[in-house]
């Protein structure tokens, strides 16, 4: 619903005519009725599909990030490099564990890491 007010002034320099003024007011209302309910359900399904796709992309991006973090932190640990424990970045690799094979397994050729 939307109210409206309209008006006009008629001013004239001619002394034989009179100035006039008029005004109107009212309310305008509109009503929309979908003629095809299938389009609405199709639109909702499309929106749900798009939301699911975006969530899957976000999940994949997070997994990629975590795998790269795991590999880079593991490489850094194997090379003897790590953040100082007082560094705000220390916790970036804090949950990464590097397992080294046992010397006996490497010598015997049965390199099994548990």
Position 109 in a domain: no
Burial class, 73, CB count within 10 angstroms (exposed 0-12 / middle 13-18 / buried 19+) = buried
Domain hosting residue 79, numbered range: 36-104
Q: Could you give the number of structural domains in the chain? A: 1
Tell me the whole-structure pTM to 2 decimals: 0.54
Q: Note the pLDDT tens digit of each residue in 84-109.
A: 999 999 999 999 998 877 777 677 77
Position 70 in a domain: yes
3-class DSSP state for residue 102?
Answer: coil
Q: Note the pLDDT tens digit of each residue in 12-65.
A: 666 676 666 677 788 888 888 877 778 888 999 999 999 999 999 999 999 999
Position 56 in a domain: yes
Position 41 in a domain: yes
Position 87 in a domain: yes
Position 49 in a domain: yes
């Amino acid at each position: 619903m939307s109210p409206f007010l309209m008006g006009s002034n008629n001013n004239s320099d001619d002394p034989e005519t009179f100035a006039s003024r008029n005004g109107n007011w009212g309310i305008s209302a509109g009503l929309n009725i979908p003629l095809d309910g299938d389009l609405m359900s199709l639109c909702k399904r499309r929106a749900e599909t798009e939301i699911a796709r975006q969530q899957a992309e976000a999940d994949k991006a997070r997994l990629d990030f975590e795998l790269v973090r795991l590999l880079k932190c593991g490489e850094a640990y194997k090379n003897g490099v790590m953040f100082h424990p007082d560094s705000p970045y220390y916790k970036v690799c804090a949950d990464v564990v590097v397992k080294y094979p046992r010397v006996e397994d490497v010598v015997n050729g049965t390199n099994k890491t548990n």
